[in-house]
Structure 1
Amino acid sequence: MRKRLMTAAVSTAALALGALSGCGSSGGTTESGVSLVKKGTLSVCTQVPYKPFEFQQGGDVVGFDISLMDELAKQLKVKVAVVQTPFEGIQSGQALNTKQCDIAAAGMTITADRKKVLSFSDPYFDATQALLVKKGGATSLDQLAGKTIAVQQGTTGEIYTKENAPKSATIRVFEDLGLLTTAVKTGQADAGVQDNGPLLDYTKANPDTEVTAEFDTGEQYGFGVSKNGSQKLKDAADEMLSRVKEDGTYDALYKKWFGQAAPNS
């Protein structure tokens, strides 16, 4: 899905820098046999802003996804390095296949198409699509005939909107979540469709906007790794998720980043 505030020039630079760093650094293997792009480091691809999953806070990228990656790094006895790159390159598998990173943590829905190019961890978050509008705006896609709807490139929100919006609606595709939400807030778009988690979080800080509808798409997020020899890392991520759910860490992190108890906790 995933997502985030970055100019085209910066995005291109990030891709180039990521590819160079992947090729130029010596890889390493953890004590548990997990191969990494860079010795002693779990390189994590994401795209910000996608609050509360990943976002910039001071000079660091933080959030629910990053906290879970910290847990994985602790298990592997390495440190975390966040690599910011466009979501399109993440969900297509390009960022992982070119060794910009070891794992993708980007609020990414597990889909059949993505499973063709990525290996996913066990699901760690249930999501669905939602409709963001200015206060008093549309309460359904049907009310947006002849209107403009903002979506994010490469996301399930883009797919859902193109399949379900009125044919007379104009769909504007933005590179990241920050540009999408800004378009709605400033009136460049009459509504925006994206995952419910980040949109609900956005309305807390922007009370002139609201989520007026959610669409039950039955989505689940997973962490992505390359299909080329990353089975041990996938297994390690699954082990981490099982552990944090059993020992209460998952619930604590959920409450920290979402401000409420995790579902079924």
Structure 2
Amino acid sequence: MSTPAGRQSNRARPLAAAVSAALLFAAGCSSEEEGPGEAKGGVPVVEKGKLTTCTHLPYPPFQFERDGKVVGFDVALIDLVAKNLGVEQKILDTPFENFKTGAFLNSGECDLAAAGMTITDERRKNVDFSIPYFDATQAVLASKKSGVRTLAEVKARKLKLGAQAETTGESYAKSQGFDPVAFESSDAVLNGLRTGQVDAVVIDYPVVRGWLKDKANAAAFVLGQNVDTGEVYGFSVKKGNDRLRAAIDKAIRDAKADGTYKKIYEEWIGPLPQAGS
């Protein structure tokens, strides 16, 4: 999710609890297996045999629940890291606002954060980022009945604009003089557009593409202006966790070199751009 801000804020929700509980149960850890450990290459992990990823659900196509399992573009890439380290990925659903501060990394709850997170100088103060793994842009999605396609039209007609809280979409909208309605999740953004709480929204382009695959959404909404904000996504680790960061970088580079990245990109997002990340 793009953002100089990030993605979103708290969201105590049953789904999050259910997903976390299901994943913890699936781990089936005995008392002997609990506690920190070490993966291949001397990479420290907060739980033996696991690479624990903090994310924030839902954020399709990067991470979301399907058939009781968390899947998506980010999930598939981190699975490559886990495989190289000889461990399994374990996913925790956590508030996005903590990703900016590195709270869950510093507390030892997670090894890394993977949440469609834009690399920014402000965030670098609190966490270390992997090399960029995705080039991101923002897009405007509007209800067809509104008749608007650009942010300029939204402003001129004094219509309501929505964005996901704590994201670069929200930050960009504010930088353009808007006071956007802030929704706590991408699902809430779409619902706000669907129910008429807002006339248009600005959010990550891959998210919009995913929404428009649904025929009902394609019939009700129209893709408008594309905004290139120069954003790139990165996975974050605790400050100074150089071994894990290097392992993530290696997995990204190897995947791009051997065609695995292209395959994952096309599975979860669509055709890989010619100058794709």
Flag whether TM exceeds 0.5 (same fold).
yes
Structure 1 segments unaligned to the other structure (5+ residues)? 18-23
Structure 2 segments unaligned to the other structure (5+ residues)? 22-30
Contact 1:93–1:226 under 8 Å retained in 2:
yes
- TM-score if structure 2 supplies the norm length? 0.85
Whole-angstrom CA distance in 1 between matches of 2:81 and 2:176: 38
Alignment root-mean-square deviation, CA: 2.5
SS in 2 for 1:32: helix
Whole-angstrom CA distance in 2 between matches of 1:154 and 1:230: 25
- What is the letter of the counterpart of residue 156 of structure 1? T
SS in 2 for 1:110: coil
Determine if the alignment matches structure 1 residue 95 to structure 2 residue 104: yes
1:118-143 CA distances to partner (integer Å, 9 max, x unpaired)? Answer: 11000011011111111253212122
Counterpart among 8, 18, 33 of residue 12 in structure 2: 8
Counterpart among 117, 120, 125 of residue 129 in structure 2: 120
- What is the letter of the counterpart of residue 160 of structure 2? T
Determine if the alignment matches structure 1 residue 139 to structure 2 residue 139: no
1:188-229 CA distances to partner (integer Å, 9 max, x unpaired)? Answer: 1111111111112112211111220111101101001111x3
Name the count of aligned residue pairs. 255
Whole-angstrom CA distance in 1 between matches of 2:212 and 2:177: 22
Contact 1:5–1:179 under 8 Å retained in 2:
no
Matches within 5 A, 1:80-229: 80-137=89-146, 138-145=148-155, 146-166=158-178, 170-205=179-214, 206-207=217-218, 208-227=220-239, 229=240
- What is the letter of the counterpart of residue 182 of structure 2? V
Contact 1:129–1:214 under 8 Å retained in 2:
yes
SS in 2 for 1:8: coil
Determine if the alignment matches structure 1 residue 253 to structure 2 residue 257: no
- TM-score if structure 1 supplies the norm length? 0.88
Counterpart among 64, 74, 77 of residue 73 in structure 2: 64
- Decide whether aligned partners of structure 1 residues 61 and 12 sit closer, same or farther in structure 2, where only a CA change above 3 A counts: closer
Contact 2:42–2:243 under 8 Å retained in 1:
yes
Q: Please name the residue that 1:77 is paired with.
A: 86
Whole-angstrom CA distance in 2 between matches of 1:51 and 1:9: 17
- What is the letter of the counterpart of residue 140 of structure 1? T
CA deviation after TM superposition for structure 1 residue 5, in Å: 11
Q: Please name the residue that 2:247 is paired with.
A: 236
SS in 1 for 2:210: helix
Contact 2:55–2:114 under 8 Å retained in 1:
yes
- Decide whether aligned partners of structure 1 residues 147 and 263 sit closer, same or farther in structure 2, where only a CA change above 3 A counts: same
1:165-186 CA distances to partner (integer Å, 9 max, x unpaired)? Answer: 44xxx42111111101110121
Contact 1:54–1:106 under 8 Å retained in 2:
yes
Q: Please name the residue that 1:21 is paired with.
A: none
Contact 1:130–1:215 under 8 Å retained in 2:
yes
CA deviation after TM superposition for structure 1 residue 112, in Å: 1.0
